[in-house]
Chains A and B, each alone.
Chain A
Amino acid sequence: MIINNLIYLTNIYWEGCLVKIKKFQALAVICIIVGIMIAIQYRANLHSKAYISYKQWSNIKTEINNLDKQNQDLAKEIILLRNKLARDNSQRIDKELKTRLDEANILAGFTPVGGAGIIVMLDDNPDLMLEKSDINSFIIHDINLLLVINQLKAAGAEAISVNSERIVVNSEVRCAGPTILVNLNRVAPPFEIKAIGDPEKLESALLSKEGELEALRLMGIRVNMQKTNKVEIPAYNGMPNFRYSHSK
């Protein structure tokens, strides 16, 4: 009797609970979601501790010191191995020297080079004659050429020429009356600037906002750009003549 009653009462109690739970389903779901978010946030904070204890700090410091020492040892080993390699196979050294010589020749401009690149044509403003005021603002100056060349260099150009004058390490671009001197040779408009390098990179560098070409276009200079796979750049036609420099 009593037990039956108890069971009946507990049944009623559980049913009541179930009804309540049904009513508070939404609350339960939200509680679970918030719980998940709190746990995730807590873990995120654990992972991004901005402050470290002194012990951690000293541990890290000793680790860094050890790694530094390892680095130094490895650097010494690299030098040793390099020397060994140099002694071991002279054949490969010959080959390597050859490629390095070729590279140096390209860099110095002593050999004609070809490859993918860009050709830029610059010509003075055709309305030059109509303007009676200031001619200076309608022609290409040495500084304009220099800036274009510099932009090409910055974009990774490997070889550059202006009207078949190879730009080498001590090439000058300067004003000489009505013409411009490059490598002490006169060049005159239209200027044909050739550059070997990644054509896309070179073009995007030249077309960059507030770049030199934009300024030239504003001046009315005719600009013509052409990406090709075949750019031929002649060799530097001067001879090296070192009077003051001695290699050490």
Chain B
Amino acid sequence: MWLIIVLGLAIGVIIGSNLPLIIPVYFAKYLSIAILAGLDTIFGGARAYLDKEFDDLVLITGFIFNSLLAAGLAYIGDQLGVALYVAAIFVFGVRLFNNLAIIRRNIIKRPGEGYAAH
């Protein structure tokens, strides 16, 4: 599980840094949101794995749908002149921290105990 995540990210970074592709500055914002959505999906998957609820269909649909929604929100915000993409960043950020906290507690959970409240 963790091996897959780390290896996958490493392979991706290696591929990405060797791709002869430079995105225009205009799209950097959209890509950053997509990255956040991807990280959110990954940590959500890890959390689901620890909770023994892992489902790859949920994972894929979540990744695609969240990315599209966030990018669409950012695009609409651009058209309206409102920084709507901040909403996506905020939501994904909060969820990232939530998932990470749950993963952390799951890992250090002592037998016979429920979740600690911190």
Interface stretch, picked from A26-34, A62-70, A181-189, is A26-34
Measured CA separation A45–B5 after assembly (Å): 24
Measured CA separation A198–B17 after assembly (Å): 51
Q: A27-B42, A37-B34, A44-B22 are in contact. Are A32 and B15 (CB under 8 A)?
A: yes
**What residues of chain B lie closer than 8 Å to A176, measured between beta carbons?**
none
- Say yes or no: is B1 at the interface (Cβ < 8 Å to chain A): yes
**What residues of chain B lie closer than 8 Å to A39, measured between beta carbons?**
12-17, 19
- The count of A-to-B residue pairs whose CB atoms sit within 8 angstroms is 111
Query: B31 to A31, Cβ gap below 8 A?
Result: no
Query: A31 to B15, Cβ gap below 8 A?
Result: no
Query: A44 to B17, Cβ gap below 8 A?
Result: no
Closest Cβ of chain A to B50, distance in Å, is 13
Measured CA separation A27–B15 after assembly (Å): 17
- Say yes or no: is B84 at the interface (Cβ < 8 Å to chain A): no
Q: Is the interface of A mostly helix, strand, loop or mixed?
A: helix
Q: Which chain A residue has the least Cβ–Cβ distance from B34?
A: A37
Q: A37-B34, A44-B31 are in contact. Are A27 and B4 (CB under 8 A)?
A: yes
Q: State which of B8, B19, B57 has its C-beta within 8 Å of the C-beta of A40.
A: B19
- Say yes or no: is B76 at the interface (Cβ < 8 Å to chain A): no
**What residues of chain A lie closer than 8 Å to B15, measured between beta carbons?**
32, 35-36, 39
Measured CA separation A15–B4 after assembly (Å): 15
Query: A43 to B56, Cβ gap below 8 A?
Result: no
Q: State which of A20, A28, A36 has its C-beta within 8 Å of the C-beta of B16.
A: A36
Closest Cβ of chain A to B59, distance in Å, is 5
In chain B, positions 37-82 with a C-beta closer than 8 Å to chain A are 38-39, 41-42, 45, 54, 56-57, 59-60, 63
Residue from B13, B31, B34, B45 with most neighbouring chain A CB atoms (10 Å):
B13
**What residues of chain B lie closer than 8 Å to A25, measured between beta carbons?**
56
Measured CA separation A27–B12 after assembly (Å): 12
**What residues of chain A lie closer than 8 Å to B38, measured between beta carbons?**
30, 33-34, 37
- Say yes or no: is A24 at the interface (Cβ < 8 Å to chain B): yes
Query: A36 to B12, Cβ gap below 8 A?
Result: yes
Interface set of B (CB-CB < 8 Å, partner A): 1, 4-5, 7-17, 19, 21-23, 25, 28, 31-32, 34-35, 38-39, 41-42, 45, 54, 56-57, 59-60, 63
